[in-house]
Amino acid sequence: MIHEFRTYDLKPGTTPQFLKKTGEKVGKRVEYSPLVGFFYSEIGELNQALHIWQYDDMNQRADIRAKVVEDGVYPPDTREFLEGQKTEFFIPAPFLPELPIKRNIGPLFELRVYKYPPGGIPKVIDAWSTKIEARMELSKPVGVWYSDVGNLNQWAHMWAYESWEHRTEARKEFASVGWPPASGVSPITMRNTLMYAAEFSPVQ
């Protein structure tokens, strides 16, 4: 399984229009492959939209993308709102249990992306696998991933919170569950973005 992260930079002030046009098309698009989530930024790099699509492999992705264009299903005509586009491919971490697509676990979502030195990701996987169950008691994950194509050695994880207060309280409890787990390797860079889910996102 692979997850495609598509990040769009939007012209300031156009996020509502972009989401409206996209929402008109997503209902048919998800009949071809699952949408993990669709989000827009609130804190961090503003005017960004992130959509995460699930595929069995790169061959299925190519087939589906060709098919939705051929069938006139997708993409929506949102070019007037776009300043830039980026796509990255991630593999779900092996320790994470299978998560349902449709969930009400937000409405606040935090995406954290770390870049590790070469060879560091296997150590992070080992360390996190020992603590993930305890961490999931504090807030629910949308997913945990490592990069496969593009900018390598990235570690991405997205967590849902019921409110800003929930996020604050959960983070206060990190030390009590041994979080973050000691992997013996430190990130080179770290960034986070606080987001909300679009109305049509399966995860809310």
- For 171-185, write each residue's pLDDT tens digit: 999 999 999 999 999
pTM of the model: 0.95
Distance from C-alpha of 43 to C-alpha of 115, rounded to nearest angstrom: 20
Distance from C-alpha of 197 to C-alpha of 20, rounded to nearest angstrom: 13
Residue 47 amino acid letter: N
What are 48's two structure tokens? 């960004």
Mean pLDDT, residues 38-55: 97
Provide CATH code, domain 2-197. 3.30.70.100
Residue 22's nearest CA partner among 88, 84, 64, 73 is 73
* Predicted confidence band of residue 150 (pLDDT cuts 50, 70, 90): confident
The answer, yes or no, to whether residue 29 has pLDDT greater than 90, is yes
Instruction: Kindly list the domain boundaries of the chain, sorted by start residue.
Output: 2-197
The answer, yes or no, to whether residue 148 has pLDDT greater than 90, is no
For 147, phi then psi, to 5°, come to -75, 150
Q: Which residues contact 30 (CB under 8 A, 6 or more apart)?
A: 202
Give the Å distances, CA to CA, from 19 to 25, 87, 101. Answer: 10, 18, 20
